[in-house]
Chains A and B, each alone.
Chain A
Amino acid sequence: MNTAPTLSAELFVIPVDHGHLVYAPLRQAAFLTNAAGVNRIADLQAGTHCPGSEEADALVEFLRRLEIVDSGEETQPLTSFKGVPKPTSVTLFLTTACNLRCTYCYASAGDTPLRSMSMEVARRGIDFVIANAVELGEPAIELAYHGGGEPSVNWKTLTASLAYARDRAAVAGLRVHAAMACNGVLPDYKIDWIIGNLDGVSLSFDGLPEVHDAHRVDIAGRGSSDNVIHTIRRFDEADFAYGLRLTVTREHIPHMEASVRFVCENFRPRNIQVEPAYQLGRWRDAPSAETAGFIAGFRAAQAAAREHGREIAFSAARVGSLSNHFCGITQDSFCLTSDGEVSACYETFIAENEWAKTFFYGAYDAATDGYQFDIDKLDHLRGQSVDQREFCRGCFAKWTCGGDCYHKSLSVNGAGEFQGSDRCHIIRELTKDQILARIAKSGGLFWHEERVGNEKSAGKEMLL
């Protein structure tokens, strides 16, 4: 029995030069067509499709093969959290101190009140996630060091906490995945320890030494590229897994391509992430780098990377990874500040931060020897996933961007309803590039890929 063909995918039509990119994100399918093609598909949607002609039948057949027609309901990549959180990952904000004074530091590291995590705070957090992992039957816990300062400055707690975690996890039959964000200014003995003990490191390195040294300076104002390059070379020699994060200020946008080329020609990072400098912290009043120039620079840098068989990444443009979350703030991310408060956000690391009241959702309670959580706050954070954002409903990038960084949107829009940002434009343009690149890579006519589950960890771009 023949039935009328039915659209079975959420379809977006994205204008490109002299044509239209038809994109079904949840089917991981896309192709380029003309206006007539779009209108025929719109006919299918409206139920006004006229079958019978060779062209109409061919179009339906083409769409069917891309799972856009007659392929049943799509599965949205929705993960949601309820009740008391039971995280199996902990991120420790070890210190607000830093051995650098980067001009664009979002955390104003070194200028904020000095805080340093004690082993006691770290121990409680580690014990908590180990207990959760045992209860949930997880095979491993994740331990990350991040935020607010340079984690390696609090060397004592860094090394002791990882040793403690490994000891306790071994008793519980768990593995420990440990990673750190780091500025790369490290003495050799710390490099040796990192290579021997961590599973990965995200290093901040801006590419060309002159570009790096313009912003990433020590307390005396001296550039740090020599130190960081030494660290990277040591990592390469040891075949250690690390990623590089390049932060681009407005005046350095013209150097993006050369910086990425420099990285590709000299180092072997597992991934290269390029982000515009955030107008936060010391860079609050600086000119925005979230411009059309950044997009053009990113494209040039991407082309340079591909010449070396590499890809560069932008945190919120990630075709191939479907999620309703950008990062962990909607997924009960469990980060501990130096003082022991529970934060959901990497960028909110002390109580003095502007949005601490939004992102701090719990603290250790000595009376119960456990963590007490503010479930209302947590539910508010959980409600920031992209499927619950009205503004994002019609955006083709929503299932890959996941709603972008909530902290940044708060900085732009305030606490009201999300109203978009300059980053949205960057995300859409770079997402479009990725779709087109996938079409090209798939032979040039269409892209269609089997969906391989949701990317639970999408958004943890800072840590490998």
Chain B
Amino acid sequence: MSRASVVIVGSGAGGSVAAWELTRTGHDVLVLEKGRNLLPGIGTAAGIRHIPFANDEVKAGRAFENQDVVLEPRTARTQADAASDVARSFVGDVNTLPTTVGGGTVHWDAKVPRFWRQDFHGRSLYGPIDGANVADWPLSYEELARFYDVVERRLGVQGDVRAMPETTLAQAPRRRQFAMPPNPPMLAGTRLAAGAATLGYHAYPFPMAVNSRRLHGRPRCNSCGFCSGYGCPILARGSAAASFLHPALRAGARLRPRACVQRVELSANGRRAVGVSYLDEHMRERHVRADVVILAASAIETARLALLSASTAHPNGLGNRSGQLGRNVMFHLFTLGIALFADEPHAWRGPSTTFTIDDFVGPDSSAGARATGLPYLKGGICEVGGGLTLLEEADLYTVVPGTWGTMLKDAMRTSPLRRHLAGLSMVGEDLPQLANVVDLDPTIRDVYGLPVPRITHTSHPFEIAASHYFGPRLGAICAAAPGAIAAGWLPVGALAEATGGFGSPYAGPASTAHILGTARMGRDAETSVVDRWGRMHELDNVYVADGSVFVSSGGFNPTLTIMALSLRMARHLAGRIG
């Protein structure tokens, strides 16, 4: 087969990288994207222009690029609910991602740490954890490193190797300096970094796919502050769309927005995909044939699509003879530190945060950690020096019922939690569990008439304990920051867990765009869904190229690793079909 036709479901981080590589190697690529295209000019000679994103907090809350939960709700329940046959205990926004061309990286924070060597060998290095499904990945950091290099070069990543801790470089070795120097350090981050230093912790410039100088035809970041959660108005951020999908389209790939894939269509014997069916913007059913199908719709939607593709040959869902499909869904569990200052460190200026701390990644098997009853604890990296925007601040004050009138106006004016605040957040590793699963809701349908995904999830005691173990250290950093007059820490993920999960008042602050697991990668077809390259064990030509394949969540923002894995898969596939 010299020129294979490839259909990619999803235009986000994994799908765009696969499209770029497979187009580059001569294949006929069609990308089907459920969302609309909000990047005019993508794929044209003129490039992306007339960007509709702006410094606009209202639009960010009005389902612009985000999944519209009125059209596509999700449902959720806890493991205890499931044991009691409760169909669902929440309907609405369950860690949704942008549903648009470019996927989540349209408004990502663009923080791109690499996973560490130890993340790929968790079971071998540290052993099992009761109640969790800890396993090794079927690959090593060394196998992924060169793909990290390529993805970073295309994205354009800033950072400073010389400032990185020895532990970090030992766990995630790098061959060269970053393409760009760091952005100007945010004052709020500088304060907290100084606090960390007094306690022996090491803050350093956060590697991020943000231009600190003009690169790849895109301008430098001007620190407007509307970064995480906002589309970049000037395209200073690297992204799936700008860095991979656009050049793929220029090289001949095709993009079809508003194409909701509802089924992977199979050969008579069920061994091969022959194409997909989808609904277009007018809800008309369409069919497209393909030699290869790549699922890259994100961990929840990919599992859902595979379940929707059940057939006689795959009665429990595509590639799910093992019963593993949808299991092990992981979300990072965040813990916050907060410092208030008498002066105003304007934490809203800059690309969300400009520093990170690796000291709580772990594992920590000290006596203190083992006192929790677990053999070790792991936290994650800390994003250092973030703040709140104006409407986020208003939302926070009005969490207290009846807070309005002059009390609210005074709070907005004095602004203790915006003008005077700097925070840090720890990206806590979430252990995989077989009982944390994505399946199809038995009743509720979306606008396309398809069963919505139902997420059953309860945090493991491991991540709850880790949050309470590392949280006081975050508070201590905040208290030690020069000029801090009040400080504290908040186990926001653990609080959400304790007060209703996705229906909790804490669910908003605890929500995460880090969605992983559901189609685990592994060598054993009885305990995993895809092989070490991302191909479904039971199918010859169906691949998965998103966070679904993660075996563990690590304590790191996962998108760079999603992209590197997708590139590795695509190179393997190109060699196989080329």
A and B physically associate: no
Give the B-binding residues of A (Cβ under 8 A).
none
Instruction: Give the interface of B toward A (CB within 8 A).
Output: none
